Structure 1
Amino acid sequence: MPANFASTEAVQKLLDRASGLDVDGGNPRLKAIMRDLLQATADIIVKHDISESEFWQAAKYLADGAGEIGLILPGIGLEHFLDLYMDAKDAEAGLSGGTPRTIEGPLYVAGAPLVDGTSEVDLTSDPDDTDTLHMTGIVTGPDGEPVKDAILHVWHANSQGWYSHFDPTGEQTPFNNRRRIKLAADGRYAFRSKMPHGYSVPPGGATDVLMQALGRHGNRPAHVHFFVEAPGYRTLTTQINFGDDPFAADDFAFGTREGLLPVPSRQGDTAHIAFDFQLQRARNDEDQSFSRRARAQG
């Protein structure tokens, strides 16, 4: 089979028609993206001599694994790739500084209680006999100014590695370990919760099957997720991974980034993390909004 088979006239005509390039109407941007996607897929089929059986096995895997797509995409590095791509675009535009962005993951739930952040906030709604975590810090702008009217969205797993709303044990109440904290004018925050535990992808699930086929594991270190939003500033999506966790340097979802690896200061049954957030100024309204990713509703 010639290596350029996917570039032959017959195949090129097929891909043009399949992506709607030979007809009026439709979305021009989508047509161009679809055309490139089909070309890349055809090239891969030829390059690796993918059989009909392999093609349909892959299609079945994607169909059966649709419920875990939020784990599969970070697991194969594409969610982290988006972070790298956005970083590169920022650098090209001369934007630098601020807390690093990193992956959101699939387990955010909209509608968490909005609470006053002028004193320490308790995130944990359920009994949990593990160690207590305290986190403190300040949200500032690019010049070190305290950010007014900031809202800190916080969510993390419980001590068993389960997130509320996604806990198969059914033991957590809604919005356990989830809050939106309205910060005071000084930009400072403080919250306490129970120490989260890292988790692994569902055993035998689509993500686990793929990771094993790639010779990889499906484990994440203990971590805490954040959105930070404030008028006039770019909304930040980030998370901290605990720097002393065994999987901190080998996160299957590639969420670990330099500057996001604090090591908890542990004493007895408590631990403390001091972590400050620095936001970039918004250039437009879109910078102040969240991505249009589909998210669970509480």
Structure 2
Amino acid sequence: MVTVKISQTAEIQAFFNEVAGLGHAQGNPRFKQIILRMLNDTARLIEDLEITEDEFWHAVDYMNRLGGRNEAGLLVAGLGIEHFIDLLQEAKDAEAGLSGGTPRTIEGPLYVAGAPIAQGEARMDDGLDPGVVMFLEGQVFDAQGKPLAGATVDLWHANTHGTYSYFDSTQSEYNLRRRIITDAQGRYRARSIVPSGYGCDPQGPTQQCLDLLGRHGQRPAHVHFFISAPGHRHLTTQINFAGDKYLWDDFAYATRDGLIGDLRFVDDAASARDRGVQGDRFAELAFDFHLQAAQAPAAEARSHRPRALQDA
């Protein structure tokens, strides 16, 4: 059977140029460039893999369902694209001679802007989840290893059911989300609960895609962080917990050397009482962060990725 290909003919190329708005000055030149590339790559994909009409329209329906469930960000992580962007940035850093500091890793789709700000320490949970109390603390350092006072530690994590406030309507506003300003020694301290890992909705479109790839949709337990300070490069990262079943089998590919925290459980009633914990068990996690110096003011800010805002 002969494969018919027409995408590179002068007629089709002229058509794609028209569709992408290249024949007039109105619009955004960068966007036109991207759309033209997308049209050409899509056409070549259809031709090279002989995509049938049924396959094409099932893909369109899938994208509709993916958007309807707000799972596009989840799929981007699950297909490794968000991790690839990190690897590409690191390759660019290496080319520019930039190195050092705590490794970056993916943000994920579940951040909510505007969490309450606390000085030095904060309690993150609302007391309604009966999970094990977790004390998380550490320091933020500059590139020379000096403590950074006034750095912002913006952190968020799931509850014991693996769900996040705002996206889970049963949780209170900004539950398990805080911004902590480091003290004079660069320290931050948080009282929270030990989070659970989570899995994609078994009935959702992301898991449907993963099923066709023969993959699971599970994540290990983890805590997300944005770390920022004037004059320093913004850091997006997360800590995964040592010993978790999915530590090195994370469907979102977020686990990296240098980002594994040792969650230590303490079973001692007297120690628990001294720390204001009811019962006789709690957990401790210590983790420090090292920032790079910002090479330009723009490096101090996180990306302009659209993010949720409480009550927006």
Q: Considering the TM-score relative to the shorter chain, is it more than 0.5? A: yes
**Percent identity for Structure 1 against Structure 2:** 47
Corresponding residue for 1:115?
118
Measure, in 1, the Cα distance between the counterparts of 2:136 and 2:156. Answer: 13
CA contact under 8 A between 1:116 and 1:183: conserved in structure 2?
Answer: yes
SS in 2 for 1:31: helix
Shift of 1:28: 1.8
Corresponding residue for 1:128?
129
Equivalent of 1:70 in 60, 68, 73: 73
In the TM superposition, 1:218-229 aligns within 5 A as: 218-229=217-228
Task: Tell whether 2:304 aligns with 1:292.
Answer: yes
Corresponding residue for 1:236?
235
Amino acid at match of 1:292: H
Decide which moves more: 5-14 or 45-54.
Answer: 5-14
CA contact under 8 A between 1:126 and 1:172: conserved in structure 2?
Answer: no
Shift of 1:78: 1.0
Corresponding residue for 2:292?
280
Superposed CA deviations along residues 258-292 of structure 1, whole A, max 9, x for unmatched, are: 11112212222222222110111112221111211
Amino acid at match of 1:281: A
Measure, in 1, the Cα distance between the counterparts of 2:147 and 2:157. Answer: 25
Shift of 1:21: 2.2
Measure, in 2, the Cα distance between the counterparts of 1:36 and 1:241. Answer: 37
Measure, in 2, the Cα distance between the counterparts of 1:158 and 1:179. Answer: 14
CA contact under 8 A between 2:149 and 2:187: conserved in structure 1?
Answer: no
SS in 1 for 2:260: coil
CA contact under 8 A between 2:118 and 2:181: conserved in structure 1?
Answer: yes
Corresponding residue for 2:195?
196
Measure, in 1, the Cα distance between the counterparts of 2:64 and 2:131. Answer: 39
Task: Tell whether 2:58 aligns with 1:46.
Answer: no
Tell me the C-alpha RMSD between the 2 structures.
1.5
Measure, in 1, the Cα distance between the counterparts of 2:29 and 2:163. Answer: 43
* Runs of 5+ consecutive residues of structure 2 not aligned to the other structure: 268-280
Superposed CA deviations along residues 27-70 of structure 1, whole A, max 9, x for unmatched, are: 22222222211111111111110011211110111011112112
SS in 2 for 1:53: helix
Corresponding residue for 1:34?
35
CA contact under 8 A between 1:3 and 1:47: conserved in structure 2?
Answer: no
Shift of 1:12: 1.7
Shift of 1:231: 0.8
The total of aligned residue pairs comes to: 294
Shift of 1:9: 2.0
SS in 2 for 1:197: coil
**TM-score of the two chains, using structure 2 as the length reference:** 0.90
Measure, in 1, the Cα distance between the counterparts of 2:37 and 2:248. Answer: 35
Measure, in 2, the Cα distance between the counterparts of 1:192 and 1:122. Answer: 5
**TM-score of the two chains, using structure 1 as the length reference:** 0.94
Shift of 1:3: 7.1
Measure, in 2, the Cα distance between the counterparts of 1:271 and 1:162. Answer: 20
In the TM superposition, 1:79-90 aligns within 5 A as: 79-90=82-93
Corresponding residue for 1:262?
261
* Runs of 5+ consecutive residues of structure 1 not aligned to the other structure: none
